[in-house]
Amino acid sequence: MVEEQTEIRTRLPLPVTAYQTLNRCNLPAHVLGSLAFQQAPQSLRLDGVTELHRRLFESLAGENDPARRALYFQDYMDASFLLPDRHDVRLDRDNANYLRVLRGWMFSADSDEGAVIKGWVESRFGLLPRYHRGEIAGQESDSYLAFRHRYATALYNTNALEAQLDLLYSFSQYELHRRWPGRSHLSLFRGTDDWDRLTLITEQSDNKAILLLNNINAFTSDEGYAAAFGSHLMTAQIPLAKILYFPGLLPGQFQGEHEFMVIGGLLQVSRVY
């Protein structure tokens, strides 16, 4: 019976309303967003990023100090994308860059910066946003068109902002595998007051549930921090391949933040309470 349930969960498909057929990585959206991917993840590579920025990753390979690798990365970003002073915390749209997008997301996932990240996930991984300032009812809906308007407006007059996020994701993947060699998953937590608003695919008797997440989500490795965000607490095994950003990736930036930014799709979670 257990083997039969496992097979059913593995074969559970990503709903067709949750993805589009085109993306810009090595796996199609219906695969990377599936439950089977959570159980047996593979590396995700964005088209052309490591090839275009080969010299950065070659320089990182010879450095054993993660703080110095982060400095190399930030200096490379500054030079490659002609970025303003990274210590200037003003949120001028004209100078929007990957750091300000991350800061905006951490302030509110419903911000315009949050729209940029959700739109980037849609473009690169093919997973459609399901929530931004309200439910998004599908690609033909007014809510989706409103989201796309915010996304396009936030991208206006920026310097290859999506390409900056491409490189951020690739650097994060590089660092995850150097800091946790041999690991495929991390145990992360999420607290919520809106369990009933989550898209529940199926709930199992052993406190496990299968959810369809938004295309990008906040998790944390700190159970106590997660519990502060709601009366319901869940935990899940998150594939490293689905982590866009994690605490400590960029030392000196975002002090006190505990968020892991996790790409969505189907996810089996365990309800702690």
Query: Total structural domains in the chain?
Result: 1
Distance of CA 57 to the CA centre of its chain: 21
DSSP string, 213-263: --SEEEEBS-HHHHHTT-SEEEEEEEEGGGEEE-TTSSTTSSTT---EEEE
Instruction: List residues bridging with 237 in a β-sheet.
Output: 187
Distance of CA 41 to the CA centre of its chain: 15
pLDDT tens digit sequence for 124-146: 999 999 999 999 999 999 999 99
| Secondary structure of residue 44 in the 3-state scheme | coil
Distance between CA atoms of residues 232 and 226, nearest Å: 9
Parallel/antiparallel/unpaired status of strands 260-263 and 216-219: antiparallel
Residues 6+ apart with CB under 8 A from 266: 12, 14, 33, 34, 35, 38, 201, 210, 211, 212, 213
Nearest to 131 by CA among 37, 232, 215: 215
Amino acid at the residue 2: V
| pLDDT score for 205 | 74
Helix spans in 63-187 (H): 66-81, 98-107, 112-125, 142-155, 161-179
Q: Which residues of the chain have pLDDT under 50?
A: 1-5, 7-8, 91, 93
User: What domain range is 247 assigned to?
Assistant: 2-271
Amino acid at the residue 151: Y
| Secondary structure of residue 40 in the 3-state scheme | coil
**pTM greater than 0.75 (yes/no):** yes
pLDDT tens digit sequence for 174-191: 999 999 999 999 999 999
Neighbours of 167 (CB within 10 A): 22
Q: How far is CA 5 from CA 2, 9, 236, 265, 269, in A?
A: 5, 6, 18, 20, 15
Answer whether 263's CB lies under 8 Å from 125's CB.
yes
Element (H, E) at 176: helix 161-179
